[in-house]
Amino acid sequence: MIEVEIKAKLNKDIEKKVNRQAKYQKKIRQVDTYYNHPNRDFGKTDETLRIRESDSNVLLTYKGPKKDTKSKSREELDIQIGDIFELKKILLKLGFNKVAEVKKVRRDYHLDDFKVSLDTVEELGDFIEIEKIVDEEKYEESLDEVLKLAKVLGIDTDSIETRSYLELLIEKKK
């Protein structure tokens, strides 16, 4: 599956449009812990290995390289984890290195076939993400749909942020 996604800085006008047009789902706190492979630099290969803790849910996620320069679209594989502490021990024993943690409060909405998230990310500020999970063959069509929705919500497509929260956080700390 491909996660077709765009992200941009959130402002009050965009937030008002989301609140008027989308259906609110839930508010959750997420802590994303990122790891790097012992023998290849995920920063160079544009891959991601992440443990996401949200409420009582834990996911291990692998994300492949980005598919284009207009968005954050990429292959995404998730697996539910029962014991986060054991998973972290396994990764460390296998030589994976903890890179950083990204902490955020996420407000999730649904708008037609799209998931819209309003994120407040510690140390980075407020963002909007629009995503749609699709099969590979629907990627191009879905990217166009996501970009059209972004315009409807008042997002200037020139302001789309293609870097991940992890990349933004690492850049800010340099």
In angstroms, how far apart are the furthest CA atoms of the chain? 48
Residue 79: HSE in the Cβ half-sphere, 13 Å Cα cutoff = 8
List the catalytic residue out of 24, 34, 35, 139: 34
Is 34 an annotated catalytic residue?
yes
Q: What share of the chain is helix, strand, coil (3-state, %, to 5)?
A: 30, 45, 25
Distance CA 28, CA 26 (A): 7
Helix H or strand E encompassing 133:
strand 125-134
Which residues are tagged catalytic? 34
